[in-house]
Structure 1
């Protein structure tokens, strides 16, 4: 099955398609013409178009990965843990889920989730993946695993042999990998941005070591790559649909896996690609990842529904994007670059991503802020900023639902609600139900993200996109902490600092934010579900 786009009820102006054809966008993009996005974007685009070559250039690592997997298997190392954030983890997660292959993805600072990943150390190999080489989450996880292996009785050489590193040439992590004696180091193409790196070493190394046939993935992408210079190719049509919908006022893109599709969790990867590429300069396309095509959240007149793996659903307007996973990766990357041109933005920078990181570092140095709750109801402490709690009677028995309803009421026209859960993605999985529960109570789009994972994804859109968001942050008490070796903070402090840093970034913009802290995670989540049901 080849990559194809089926538009249902989406009226794209002929002028847009004609203009892109007249500008020869398809052929110029394949030729890596960095002028496509304007003079201000040219210098960045010139060093960010290597993803177009990956279906061919990534083949050089396939045989090496097969040999390394066999070597690890011969030593009984058949459990792969991936330490990485954003572009370093989202694609491998989708690849392995789709292939039905187990991969432990560690893209969190929650001490409980990090501790749980350290099970079965006798058969574990750790892939440490970071483009910059300085990602604080990934470095902290690496340090924790070194300590855990040492506690299990491995010597320094044996510990190094349990690590495989993926990074850019010359990054601090490449030097660290050499110093620790990592078993293997894979240097990725530096001309590929993180969110465009699905078919690079960042996507392929952990997936192949976990057992995926990554050569087949490249075959799927290469079939589409051969068509991308053609006018009217399906990836171009997808980009036109995204850009045309935006111009028509549909600046939210609801993403769902098709019910009959083998592709699993594609929206989690596409979310970063689209939000971080387009959400800047006060505009952008907001991806809304749905639990299914029928889930609440795709009905508003500012939303376009896209179903991946099936034809277009009956709901109008909608898109059906069919094709195998490798082609989906390449097709959506190409389409996002095209949409960037339509929106008039640079799809390769992320100017607001560092803001929350800088806030986090400042808080780690100065200490966590003291912020007494406005109220405590059951297992939930309530705090708010940006007018989120104005006029709310928190002394009422149903104060939590009153606070939530006030937040929903604070969403401006054509706005959205972002739910941000700094919790354990495994043990606190029930938090994921909050998106649909809240979406049933509002006509606005509702997104959900696990913190700090979303900071490397929709976090850019929250700060750089249109300032029409309202925000619900959920944090929870930590029962058992975990130290970060040779650092002045532990994982609980790092997680709390990241949450506080993000709150500050949103407060500085005057956005309505409701912060619910769970003094008992299980009880608090049950309480939230009860008041929203």
Structure 2
């Protein structure tokens, strides 16, 4: 029996009453679980036709559990008990949430920052198994991380084939090369897209090796399947999908906040699922991950914001008449069930928005721009000025919005003049070591207080596989603050002419270039000394903020 609960108030409840009966009449839920590729229109049919196997993973993936359990036992017997995951997007976000919620350790390497990569390479290498997760193996970050770990194992006198497990699609270039070289390979379902892959081998292998209860995860998803696949107005997936994507006028920001749920970091996973699935063709829902219920997007949500609260299963249900003006959703349920719930809801929201929730047409543009800089001329744009050790550059937008700014405070103020006070949002994008500079994420709340608009915070390059799609393909209402830094020292990438420092620099410059080409205003702040430079940036962002 499913323990999922979804309730809504205000405009979100209105959207449920307006759209769910039609979804039931159209048999959306049952046809979705029958893998009907026509549900999102003719243009989406080809892509959807090879991306719908996620609906049956709760049962289909159960055969993986004994295989993963046996491999964990084998590694443990050899004294190998530290699991590292190299992957991007859905390949890393789902395992991170699953392991954190289950209270088991998993080291996630989802960065090109050399300092963050180095810390993983030098941590308990004698006791480490590395899971390399990539559908094709062509993801530049994951391929670079794999190369670095192969070299680290060889330097430590350890055979890489004994310590690296590859998760990839069957028949992919990575599958073929890894098998030929003698690596352990676990194949994932090729008919599942990355952001829907939580219950495939991409989610289960690293989590199972780390000691998470992946059997229970699948059981919870299986228990939720009957309720989610039934054409009924009580279907929680239809209710959540309508509340997210069916408000009129569309509230295209979704503030997701943990309000006492046992799920750890779930909003980060949901952020990628929703942003990459819906942010295209000038529309989309911008997920805004907030730290707490006292953040401004939750306390005083703007008229284009819906608040989604993640609560404990025994929490009191939301009162239907609590507030007729606020659009609010309350969701509870175990992790496996909620993963399937939000996937169904995103698919339903995509239908209501009139978009294909399974493609990501603007993700590739940033990759292409980064490759061009790696293969050709790197970005050598001179800064407009340097203040307090921070190089300042401005791109895109309307006119010369930087003007005669000569300080960090003035540059930030100039960027914020480009912000639409009614529909806009601010995106902070930090291409830095997210472990060493975790407290930088606190500037999100500072800017939200200052601007009274929704603010997102993403660590580069991992957000490129998440909100990066919506930044380019979604509504042209964002302003972008990019923060980059000079690492303490580089880490070479074996077999490549460039190291991680060059890679992350090219990714940041490529992302900014594509945003500017789309007319988005981008303020680039580069710190050569992170300690002093980041402190100066914080002070500049606090200008005009209230406590």
With the length of structure 1 as denominator, give the TM-score of the two structures: 0.96
Shift of 1:79: 0.3
* Contact 2:33–2:56, Cα closer than 8 Å, also in 1: no
**1:59–1:218 CA contact under 8 A, matched in 2:** yes
CA 1:54–1:391 in 2, change beyond 3 Å: closer, same or farther?
closer
Report the counterpart of residue 238 of structure 2 in structure 1.
236
Query: In the aligned structure 2, how far is the partner of 1:122 from the partner of 1:19?
Result: 58
**TM-score, normalised with respect to structure 2:** 0.93
**Conservation of the 8 A alpha-carbon contact between 2:254 and 2:288:** yes
Match of 2:514 in 1: 505
Q: Is the 8 A contact 2:84 2:130 kept in 1?
A: yes
Residue number in structure 1 paired with 2:108? 105
Q: Gaps spanning 5+ residues in structure 1: where?
A: none
In structure 1, the partner of 2:34 is 31
Tell me the equivalent position of 1:126: 130
Cα distance in structure 2, aligned partners of 1:5 and 1:331: 10
The corresponding residue for 2:267 is: 267
State the 1:387 CA deviation: 4.5
Report the secondary structure of 1:117's partner residue.
helix
Question: In the alignment, does 2:463 pair up with 1:454?
Answer: yes
Unpaired runs of 5+ in structure 2? Answer: 543-547
Task: Output the CA distance in 2 between the equivalents of 1:16 and 1:109.
Answer: 43
* Structure-2 residue corresponding to 1:52: 55
Aligned to 1:304: 306
**Aligned-pair distance for 1:530?**
2.6
User: 2:417 maps to what in 1?
Assistant: 409
Structure 2 counterpart of 1:370 = 380
Which one of the candidate residues 368, 385, 393 is aligned to 2:395?
385
Q: Report the alpha carbon displacement of residue 11 of structure 1 after superposing the two structures with TM.
A: 3.6
Which is further off, 8-17 or 500-509? 8-17
Q: 1:472 & 1:153 partners in 2: Cα distance?
A: 44
What's the C-alpha RMSD, in Å, of the aligned pairs? 1.5
Alpha-carbon distance in structure 1 between the residues aligned to 2:408 and 2:437: 19
The separation in 1 between residues aligned to 2:389 and 2:97, in whole angstroms, is 34
Residue of structure 2 in register with 1:159 after alignment: 160
SS at 2:505 equivalent: helix
Shifted more, 260-269 versus 294-303: the winner is 294-303
Structure 1 position 83 matched with structure 2 position 86: yes
Shift of 1:88: 0.6
**How far 1:92 moved relative to its partner?**
0.1
Residue 383 of structure 1: SS of its match in structure 2?
strand
Give the drift of 1:125. Answer: 0.3
For residue 440 of structure 1, give the secondary structure of its aligned residue in structure 2.
helix
The CA deviation at 1:392 is: 4.2
1:360 corresponding residue in structure 2? 370
Q: Is the 8 A contact 1:428 1:522 kept in 2?
A: no
The equivalent residue for 1:394 is 405
Distance in 2 of aligned mates of 1:11 and 1:62: 39
Change (3 A) 1:194 1:387: closer
Residues in 2 aligned to 1:90 and 1:207: alpha-carbon distance in whole angstroms: 11
Q: Provide the rounded CA distance (Å) in 1 between the counterparts of 2:377 and 2:101.
A: 42
| In 2, Cα distance between equivalents of 1:466 and 1:303 | 14
| CA distance, structure 2, for counterparts of residue 268 and residue 229 of structure 1 | 25
Spell out the pairing of 1:93-492 with structure 2 (5 A cutoff). 93-118=96-121, 119-154=123-158, 158-182=159-183, 184-230=184-230, 231-232=232-233, 233-245=235-247, 247-258=248-259, 260-298=260-298, 299-310=301-312, 316-387=326-397, 390=401, 392-395=403-406, 399-412=407-420, 413-492=422-501
Matched position secondary structure for 1:348: coil
Over residues 221-262 of structure 1, what are the superposed CA-to-partner deviations in whole Å (9 max), with x where a residue is unaligned? 0111022232121111111111223x333110111122x221
8 Å Cα contact 1:392/1:402 also seen in 2? no
SS of residue in 2 equivalent to 1:166 = strand
Give the CA deviation at 1:176: 2.4
2:457 aligns to what SS in structure 1?
A: strand
Matched, 1:524 2:525: no
Q: Distance in 1 between matches of 2:225 and 2:267?
A: 22
Q: Is the partner of 2:488 in helix, strand or coil? A: coil
**Whole-angstrom distance in 1 between the partners of 2:179 and 2:13:** 55
**Structure 2: how far apart are the matches of 1:75 and 1:123?**
9
Q: Check whether the contact 2:79–2:127 (CA below 8 A) recurs between aligned residues.
A: yes
Measure, in 2, the Cα distance between the counterparts of 1:61 and 1:284: 35
Following the alignment from structure 1 to structure 2, what is the Cα–Cα distance between the partners of residues 424 and 180?
A: 32
For residues 358 and 502 of structure 2, what CA distance do their matches in structure 1 show? 32
Following TM superposition, by how much is the alpha carbon of 1:531 offset from its aligned partner in structure 2, in angstroms?
Answer: 3.1
Shift of 1:21: 2.1
Give how far 1:353 is off: 0.8
Q: Is the 8 A contact 2:283 2:475 kept in 1?
A: yes
Paired residues of 2:401 and 2:415 also in contact (CA < 8 A): no
Q: 1:532 to 1:376 in 2, by over 3 A?
A: same
Contact 1:101 1:212 in 2 (8 A): yes
Counterparts in 2 of 1:188 and 1:418: CA distance versus 1, 3 Å: same
Where do 4+ consecutive residues of structure 1 move more than 6 Å?
312-315
Cα shift readout 1:111-169 (whole Å, capped 9, x = no counterpart): 00000001110000000000122111000000001111111122xxx221100110001
Query: Following the alignment from structure 2 to structure 1, what is the Cα–Cα distance between the partners of residues 394 and 308?
Result: 34
